[in-house]
Amino acid sequence: MKIYENIVIGGGASGLMFTANLKNKEDTIILEHNNKLGAKIRVSGGGRCNFTNKNISTSNYLASSSFLKGLLREFGSQFIFEYFTNLGLKSTLKDGTQYFCKSSSKELLDLLLYQIKGAKIALNCKVLDAKKDGNIFEVSTTRGKYKAKKLIITSGGLSFTNLGATAIGYEIAKSFGHKIIATKPALVGFTLQPQDSFLKTLSGVSINVKIKVDKKELEGSMLFAHKGISGPVVLNASLFWNRGHLEINFLPKFDLKSIKNSNKNISNLLPFPKRVALAFLEKLEIRDKKATLLSKEDWSKLEELKYYKLAPAGTFGYSKAEVTKGGIATNEIKNNFESKLVDNLYFLGEVLDVTGMLGGYNFNFAFLSAIKCARNN
């Protein structure tokens, strides 16, 4: 049986970028579960792949900062933007920081597919397990066995099984003695407990809020959904939430004192669409009336909108989560992404316990980890 130099498990963002950056690709094979490469890249960012961000630091990640710091310092914030720009990718900036493909994700994917030319690809090839015999890895798949000197695990997380996700990366890591930090859906909406389910009646409306969660203060748009709450600020909050409550400021830029002397009804003065204002008033048991007629108690109830305690019932789950938080513990991984426990075994991208916020941080990490590893291959 042929012995490859590298077997890459998973043809997603990190698997493709790793292969693209190898000097010699001919002796590398990518084993991919799907019938095509880069499934998540294709659908990401609403079809335009938010592939990196202008501002990148460890504070944008849930990860060991000592593990991540060196990588981010070595490459800098602009590396991935310049990498693709130099290949000819046209991009556009959203909200001043997030780089998206100008036309479609396919453009970025095509650049990677062009760069991996020479490598072997096995599609519809689901990896079942891997073991090491002497210096050689043997990988069992639904399309037979493959052998290589180096095994690179780029199989991603657990979200979106319809895009090929499996737990194989964690299973192989465990079988080689690696510790796995408990995995959970992240960048995902929250389901609500009965006391907050009035928010579901506002389905379809977005408002700007601030959320405090686990020492982080996040600001952005919250979307009321029929299943619970979602929107960018909620998705980011899910990254840092484990259990317990979030503190939501529904009035982040609004001073209630500014409306105290108004003769207008309070539902017309609060900075929300009217049906949102009415739902909050009902929840707080305040009758809608002229601001000047509100009692002291009414005003102190309204203040609660700045410190609203919401304990999510849970999340929308892996089928809606953009990423998986947790994963292979990074204290057992060297800074070239090789296992500290097993020579020539590497882990890249989302399978590791490194998870980014919304904004291109997850692709950024998947790509940087892959480039760093390939340069040392």
Ligand X SMILES: Cc1cc2nc3c(=O)[nH]c(=O)nc-3n(C[C@H](O)[C@H](O)[C@H](O)COP(=O)(O)OP(=O)(O)OC[C@H]3O[C@@H](n4cnc5c(N)ncnc54)[C@H](O)[C@@H]3O)c2cc1C
Q: Does 32 bind ligand X (CB under 6 A)?
A: yes
Is residue 124 helix, strand or coil?
A: coil
Specify the residue, 14 or 208, whose C-beta has the smaller distance to ligand X: 14
- Among 322, 364, 321, residue whose Cα is nearest residue 100: 364
Specify the residue, 165 or 213, whose C-beta has the smaller distance to ligand X: 165
Interface map 108-147 toward ligand X (x if CB under 6 A)? ------------------xx--------------------
Q: From CA 113, how far away is CA 101, in angstroms rounded?
A: 16
Site for ligand X in 165-194 (CB under 6 A): 165-166, 168
Interface map 324-353 toward ligand X (x if CB under 6 A)? -------------------------xxx--
Q: What's the one-letter identity of residue 103?
A: S
Specify the residue, 289 or 320, whose C-beta has the smaller distance to ligand X: 320
- Among 139, 184, 125, residue whose Cα is nearest residue 158: 184
Residues 6+ apart with CB under 8 A from 56: 72, 77, 361, 364
Specify the residue, 322 or 353, whose C-beta has the smaller distance to ligand X: 322
Q: Which residue in the set 109, 338, 360, 377 belongs to the binding site for ligand X (CB under 6 A)? A: 360
Specify the residue, 130 or 259, whose C-beta has the smaller distance to ligand X: 130
- Among 155, 157, 162, residue whose Cα is nearest residue 126: 155
In terms of Cβ atoms closer than 10 Å to its own Cβ (0-12, 13-18, 19+), residue 296 is: exposed
CB of 107 to ligand X, least distance (A): 14
Q: Does 15 bind ligand X (CB under 6 A)?
A: yes
Phi, psi at 137, each rounded to 5°: -90, 140
Specify the residue, 291 or 323, whose C-beta has the smaller distance to ligand X: 323
- Token pair belonging to 326: 């947790």
Instruction: Using the rule CB under 6 A, give the single segment among 33-41, 76-84, 212-220, 254-262 that binds ligand X.
Output: 33-41
CB of 37 to ligand X, least distance (A): 7
Which residue is it, tokens 């590791």?
Answer: 352
Query: How does strand 28-31 pair with strand 120-122?
Result: parallel
Q: From CA 323, how far away is CA 184, in angstroms rounded?
A: 9
CB of 20 to ligand X, least distance (A): 12
Specify the residue, 156 or 228, whose C-beta has the smaller distance to ligand X: 156
Q: From CA 159, how far away is CA 155, in angstroms rounded?
A: 11
Q: Which residue in the set 4, 7, 14, 208 belongs to the binding site for ligand X (CB under 6 A)? A: 14
Q: Does 220 bind ligand X (CB under 6 A)?
A: no
Specify the residue, 164 or 228, whose C-beta has the smaller distance to ligand X: 164
Cβ–Cβ contacts within 10 Å for residue 347, how many? 30
Phi, psi at 216, each rounded to 5°: -95, 145
Instruction: Using the rule CB under 6 A, give the single segment among 64-72, 149-157, 210-218, 221-229 that binds ligand X.
Output: 149-157
Signed CA dihedral, 96, 99, 103, 105: sign only: negative
Residues 6+ apart with CB under 8 A from 12: 37, 38, 39, 40, 41, 154, 155, 156, 164, 349, 366
Q: Which residue in the set 4, 11, 222, 238 belongs to the binding site for ligand X (CB under 6 A)? A: 11
CB of 257 to ligand X, least distance (A): 40
Q: Which residue in the set 137, 308, 347, 363 belongs to the binding site for ligand X (CB under 6 A)? A: 363
Residue with the shortest CB distance to ligand X: 12
CB of 276 to ligand X, least distance (A): 28
CB of 245 to ligand X, least distance (A): 27
Interface contacts to ligand X, rule CB under 6 A: 9-15, 31-34, 39-40, 43-45, 49-50, 126-127, 154-156, 159-160, 164-166, 168, 322-323, 349-351, 360-363, 366
